A and B are shown apart, each in its own frame.
Chain A
């Protein structure tokens, strides 16, 4: 980069080429008044306050690049005059109630006015008369346009940073104002409630509702989705009062979504569990830790092996999940250790191990910008992984191609894109169609296939008997579209494939995953920046839950348990039982364990062969940490029944969830803000979380509780003083975490595999070799239809998902503002189906499946294909998993078939539904 020399107010200044005159001045401590300039945004030149004299000419300094030899004067009489006029006009329009304004002392208009010196009398003359109404519709943002200086920073933020375009300049001349679509209240607009505009508004026109200045801030990581945004939590007294994005974090770069920025108040909720609870005669009674822990230790010692089930929480830290994994195997002698990944990306993980050796997202989130093409299949990043959604938006606006396979028109569809509106569950057929086009038209990367993969012929053969006609028939997507998508994908490199539950939550989910991975393999999209696959992890630490072995198939670090030497061809996948017996000092169980669905629905078909199908329920006691299984597991009736019939259930959580209510003992846990530890984000980055405040009442960190139970059961190896020591043990046993330590995480950004303390971590996976298996392996593909298809009685396919303001059923539902943004469940239904059923938006409807029926509200739209309805997962008042089925699970990943659930919809005439949302 070249340097430029210029003179500003007689000071000689050197700046990088491309720096604007305004930036050059500010960088060197010379103040030039400005309002519409913001370092994060492109210059707009709206306010005209930054006028300077450059070589005798008037210049808008925020838009002009500094040029060699330029002579700039910032305070000539002419400049002062223009500036004063501009400021006066602004003040005339401004409701100067400084003392009561939330922006007092922090306001750019005050700064400018102070500098320009406007006298009092003049100010009085200039007072505006007409007051504009204040928009208080939004639970988190107040808009008072009596204070707006029309700098357009909010408009540009919403467009350039958020890509939402919720607001713009409307009307013209004197009447000009910032307006939403139709000048509707913000809450009813396309606003995504990210709060980015509020962060940047230079005056008090946009303010966060009820903002309190924190007295200290602590750096940590967002507790909601797997994106893993860095944030600073603000504390005042013993309460959390604020959150802001960490500008130095490479993923979010200061940005946060509505959950990250405004969703923290569940931490302060009065509903948090504060003391251990013991059920006596059907009612919970508060107890001390000693009593509760002794009771749990005593009870749990009565069950071992196949009689015990353990759940680790994808919301807790790696250290805590590791403890749960060790606890199950050592203390309870069982491989029945599960976590919610089994409802989620287990199909990805187990599916990809034999294909590419690892199921991690291949590139860091910050490399999304380097991709030339995105294939977004079965996921809705702008709602479920919002900050990753922003990165996709940004890249697409800069020219990257976008292919979207989804029965729903997701919000990314507002960008230029190619949409494949497929029927739920037919992804494999669609992708096989694309693969066939790539094959037939010779769009392959033959060099990559030859050098870095094996078994291509078998894959090719499996495609020979598959035709594009079949793909069209099965998916409902036209051949032409499939062809075009294949061509775009294969010819724009590097390409990145995103997927989530739409791909995995099927009893044939691993097939979908294979198909996607094969697409990347046949086009050479592996091992390069911005290329590969990005299976987006849902929970903040569900990646860690899989890494730490909270699954029957492997110990921490994907080191297999006996009975799971699934892929004998790779002797690298042999059992690590001996290694862990030695390290942990106990005999470990020999028999395979049951994952999430199987623990509650022993008769679920699909996994483990006939012998595993007719099991009797053997688990008699459960230790469930931070998982609301009664809401979370498909066909939740089985979970309820199993927990009712169990002899002993202990639940450890931060709220009295529906699941906790069924427990014999409930242990109160500390949440993410109340403990130290690490979370691993969807892009494999291991990040430190820091204790911000004390847990409420007697609540304790999960790692402490688990090890305390183990100690009371007289097991050794659970004597940790702090989570850092647990991480050291993890590093010693888990090769991919080998070089991770709290010391290094202070400074370094580390992504696994990080083999030893000198290893720099692995931003891009599979660069020279595929992890573990050296060469990627193609597998023959086949399309398997979903096991339960619509028929006369249940003619519509229900598919499920998240909405932007909520995460699951507990944390965000405790946040008043988020409940206002999304107060109740809805079922999105195509207008044609709705017309057939005489249903209108807002009607109460009954959704009926073979498992049961629940009541919800209709939302008629043309953004979902006919024949398919979409229902949210968040509302325990209308529990979606009462409807879904767990009869069939994936043979590899054991994930149930949640995304294709045939239903019937009927209009019901209930006026008021009990407990449905709050106003």
Chain B
């Protein structure tokens, strides 16, 4: 536990090394932090507040203003559902509803087994494939219907059932 915190602090030091520590760097720093951890851990936000000498509540408040920041660890598979205009008109709402039901979580949440997390985002640039979702910001699944949505998560759950080893690592290691 302690070692884990120390390790994180080293990561934070690395992140800070390219900044001067002024208040207007808050957003870019938070972006770096999220890139490393996949979300904004509280301990990291506290370090950021200390680094740029602003109050912790300001760091949190600012981060919470932007939808790009997450406050919970993402699952190993982080599913982003596009809610951009094109996807929206082609039923992205239903896609999201279905995923929420199937995974048993709400948008912005992570499953208890840390496998999946769900996030609604604006256009991900594949409007031709609308409605679409992305997994871990790399694999895109397009032309989805509520029936087809399963492809996103069934394989993994299936694998685990077959007794295959689950990949370990800290939350948010996939980036």
Contact = CB atoms under 8 A, between A and B. Distances in A.
B25 to A, nearest CB: 15
B60 A834 contact: no
Contacts of B49: 181, 414
Nearest to B50: A414
A806 B2 CA distance: 29
Interface string B54-86: 111111110011000001000000000000000
Interface in A134-171: 159, 164-171
B151 interface: no
Contact of A414 (B6, B53, B60, B61): B53
A132 interface: no
B60 A831 contact: no
A179 B60 contact: yes
Contacts of B9: 862
Contact of B57 (A181, A415, A835, A860): A181
Interface size grouping (class) on chain B: 20 to 34
B35 interface: no
B5 interface: yes
B132 interface: no
B53 A164 contact: no
Interface centre among A166, A182, A860 (most CB of B within 10 A): A182
B1 A182 contact: no
B159 interface: no
B45 interface: yes
A181 B56 CA distance: 6
Contacts of A172: 64-65
B154 interface: no
A347 B53 CA distance: 35
A190 interface: yes
Interface string A693-710: 000000000000000000
Nearest to A413: B50
Nearest to B56: A181
Nearest to A180: B57
A189 interface: yes
A840 interface: yes
A183 interface: yes
B42 interface: yes
Contacts of B54: 165
B87 to A, nearest CB: 21
A608 interface: no
Contact of B53 (A168, A170, A416, A860): A416
Contact of A166 (B2, B45, B55, B59): B55
Interface in B1-16: 1-3, 5-6, 9
A168 B5 contact: no
A165 B56 CA distance: 7
A860 B5 CA distance: 11
A71 B2 CA distance: 66
Contacts of B50: 414
Contact of A179 (B3, B5, B42, B64): B64
Nearest to B55: A165
Most buried by A among B3, B6, B64, B71: B64
A412 to B, nearest CB: 11
A398 to B, nearest CB: 15
B3 A835 contact: yes
A295 to B, nearest CB: 58
A166 B54 CA distance: 11
A165 B59 CA distance: 10
A666 B18 CA distance: 65
Interface in A389-417: 414-416
A166 B64 CA distance: 15
A181 B2 contact: no
A762 B59 CA distance: 45
Contacts of B1: 840
A182 B55 contact: no
A190 B57 contact: yes
Contact of B2 (A159, A168, A835): A835
Interface in A180-223: 180-183, 189-190
B4 to A, nearest CB: 11
A223 B114 CA distance: 53
Given A179-B60, A183-B60, A170 B65 contact: yes
A170 B55 contact: no
Interface string A566-607: 000000000000000000000000000000000000000000
Contacts of B64: 170-172, 179, 183
Interface string B25-65: 00000000000000000100110011001111111110011
A849 B65 CA distance: 51
A165 B64 CA distance: 16
A834 B58 contact: no
Given A414-B50, A840-B1, A165 B57 contact: yes
Given A172-B65, A179-B64, A181-B45, A189 B57 contact: yes
Contacts of B58: 165, 168
Contacts of B56: 165, 181, 189-190
Nearest to A862: B9
Contact of A171 (B6, B42, B65): B65
Contacts of B3: 835
A181 B65 contact: no
A408 to B, nearest CB: 14
Given A172-B65, A181-B49, 14 more contacts: A165-B55, A165-B56, A165-B58, A168-B58, A169-B61, A170-B60, A170-B61, A171-B65, A181-B45, A182-B45, A190-B55, A190-B56, A831-B5, A862-B9
Q: 3 tightest A-B contacts by CB?
A: A165-B55, A168-B61, A181-B56
30 contacts: A165-B54, A165-B56, A165-B57, A167-B57, A168-B55, A168-B57, A169-B61, A170-B60, A170-B61, A170-B65, A171-B64, A179-B57, A179-B60, A179-B64, A181-B46, A181-B57, A182-B42, A182-B45, A182-B60, A189-B56, A189-B57, A190-B56, A414-B49, A414-B53, A415-B53, A416-B53, A831-B2, A831-B5, A835-B3, A835-B6
Interface of A: 159, 164-172, 179-183, 189-190, 414-416, 831, 834-835, 840, 860, 862
